Every structure is written in C-alpha cells, then in structure tokens.
C-alpha cells in the first residue's frame, strides 16, 4: 500500500473497485452543505447548488464505470435534526447517481464496533481516517499505514453484517 504521496481526494479518482465509508456521528452540520441544512430546517426547497453538487458527478462517474461507492451510518433513533436532513435530502439525492447506503441502527441493539472512527476505505488497501471536532466540523483526513488495514477491514465487514439497506430502514423509520 503506497498512500504516502496520495491525498484522500486522489483516492476518489484512483480507486479501482470500491470506496466504503463508515459514518458514526449524529451531526456533520459544520462540514459542508450548511446552506442546504439551513433550508431544510426552515422548511424551504433544496438549493440548486445542493441538487447539483460536485459529489454527484464524482459518484455518478465512478458508478457508471463499474465502481461501487457505499456507506454505513451507525445511528440511533430518535434522529437528530442533522440526521433527518442527511438521510432525507442527502442520501436520497446521492442514491439517484448510484451511491449505496446502509443503516446500522443501535436503538435496540448494541453497537458492535463502538470504537470505530469515521473513515473511507478504498479497494481494501487504503484507509483515510476522518477527523471531526465535537460540533461536526471536518478537520481533515489522515491516510493510515498498511499496519492499520486489517482493523478497518474488520470494522467494514462488521458494520455491513449488522446493517440493513437504507431504503428498507427508511420505509420503516423515515419521515
């Protein structure tokens, strides 16, 4: 694994098969989409720039070329305002270009990976640990060494084994 010269952004362009994301926080409101989040809270329509965000192009191009981008969000009900926004606007929007979502709901079960941080995993060979402050502001990513890989593969596999597809979860608990 040679990640020393690559950034997290480079990996989104360079991965071959799949990119997996684990989300563990209830609030990422200081990390982007701030105007859209305000619109959501105010009951307004989605801003145009949110509907056409660059992430949709990135995901759409990857999926069209046969790659997989998917994520698991660990959460518990009742949902925070931010999670209501992320799931009802963000996930449903991103699904239109092929991103896959799964929910690991810990409302009535223990979190099987309570020590797992937020991260991206690319092609089972590169890990980008995501760092946030206590208010959900993104502080940057750290590409970890190969010695950390097996731990993050276990986090992914455990999360997927306990998660359900977002659409199934949303049909039961969505708003």
Give the model confidence (pLDDT) of 105-134 as tens digits.
Answer: 999 999 999 999 999 999 999 999 999 998
Task: Give the pLDDT band (50/70/90) at residue 6.
Answer: confident
Residue spans of alpha helices (H) in 4-44: 8-14, 34-41
pLDDT at 3: 43
165 pLDDT more than 90 = yes
Residue 44 has pLDDT above 90, yes or no: yes
Domains of the chain, earliest start first: 8-173 (3.30.870)
The predicted structure's pLDDT at residue 134: 87
Q: What is the pLDDT of residues 11-36, one digit of tens each?
A: 998 999 999 999 999 999 999 889 99
- For residues 47 and 36, is the Cβ–Cβ distance under 8 A? yes
The reported pLDDT for the residue numbered 1 is: 43
The answer on pLDDT for 97 being more than 70 is yes
Q: Is the pLDDT of residue 2 over 60?
A: no
pLDDT > 70? residue 152: yes
CA 33/CA 28 separation, integer angstroms: 9
Q: Does position 96 have pLDDT exceeding 70, yes or no?
A: yes
Q: Is 6 left (phi over 0), alpha (psi -120 to 50) or beta?
A: beta
User: What's the confidence (pLDDT) of residue 4?
Assistant: 55
Please state, rounded to an integer, the average pLDDT across all residues of the chain. Answer: 94
Predicted local distance difference test score (pLDDT) of residue 5: 73
- Do 63 and 6 touch, CB atoms closer than 8 A? no
């Amino acid at each position: 694994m040679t990640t020393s010269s690559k950034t997290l952004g480079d990996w989104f362009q360079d991965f071959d098969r799949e990119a997996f994301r684990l989300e563990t926080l209830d609030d990422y409101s200081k990390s982007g989409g701030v105007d859209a989040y305000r619109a959501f809270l105010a009951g307004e329509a989605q801003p145009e720039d949110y509907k056409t965000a660059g992430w949709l192009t990135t995901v759409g191009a990857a999926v069209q070329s046969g790659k997989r981008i998917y994520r698991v969000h660990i959460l518990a009900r009742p949902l925070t305002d931010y999670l209501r926004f992320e799931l009802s606007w963000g996930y449903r929007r991103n699904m239109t270009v092929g991103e896959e979502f799964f929910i690991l709901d810990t409302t009535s079960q223990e979190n099987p990976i309570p020590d797992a941080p937020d991260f991206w995993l690319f092609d089972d060979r590169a890990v980008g640990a995501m760092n946030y402050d206590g208010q959900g502001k993104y502080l940057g990513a750290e590409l970890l060494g190969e010695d950390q890989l097996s731990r993050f593969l276990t986090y992914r596999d455990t999360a997927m084994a306990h998660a359900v597809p977002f659409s199934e979860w949303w049909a039961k608990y969505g708003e």
